[in-house]
Amino acid sequence: MPTGITERNKANAELASLGYSIKSLEKELWQPKVTLYRHTPAYNNSGQMSDDIGTTIKNLTSEPSYIARCARLGQFTFPPSESCICPWCKERKEQGVDVTEEDGATSVVSPLHSKTCEDCGAILQAASSGGLSTKFKYHKERLHSEA
């Protein structure tokens, strides 16, 4: 929690670098509780998607340092859209992934990245190349590590 003006300015600068505007910081983050939207999918320990892009996370604290930590994980106070400038939405736009909004709900039509394990022939899929890399590393460590 920022205790002085310097810490608060650092937190605001970090939030601004993650895609928030100064106007939105003053307008949205004064509330005691906020709703965040996932701009990246969430995966459980077994590698299966637990929350899709656009899923809401309600009643979270609006403390700037907490919001900055969530923003680094791809969770923002605004839903993903075509006009979003966060790194994850930019990556999806560059890959040609469609983000559609209907009745306040956001859905993402995402081509999956896939890779085949040379050792066992398993086909692994993920929504992003980074996610696929992590999933493939986890697969190799769990199933094909030399004991």
3-state secondary structure of 127: coil
Residue 105 has pLDDT above 70, yes or no: no
The 10s digit of each residue's pLDDT in 12-35 is 788 778 777 766 666 655 667 889
Report whether 84 contacts 19 (CB < 8 A).
Answer: yes
- Say what the pLDDT of residue 25 is: 63
Report whether 54 contacts 33 (CB < 8 A).
Answer: no
3-state secondary structure of 142: helix
Question: What is the residue extent of each domain of the chain?
Answer: 5-110, 112-147
Residue 96 has pLDDT above 80, yes or no: no
Query: φ and ψ at 26, to 5 degrees?
Result: -70, -35
Average pLDDT over residues 118-123: 84
Which residues make beta-bridge pairs with 99? 108
Counting every residue, how long is the chain?
A: 147
Q: Give 101-117 as a DSSP string.
A: EETTEEEEE-PPEEEE-
Q: Which residues contact 134 (CB under 8 A, 6 or more apart)?
A: 126
Kindly state the DSSP code that residue 23 receives in the 8-state scheme. H
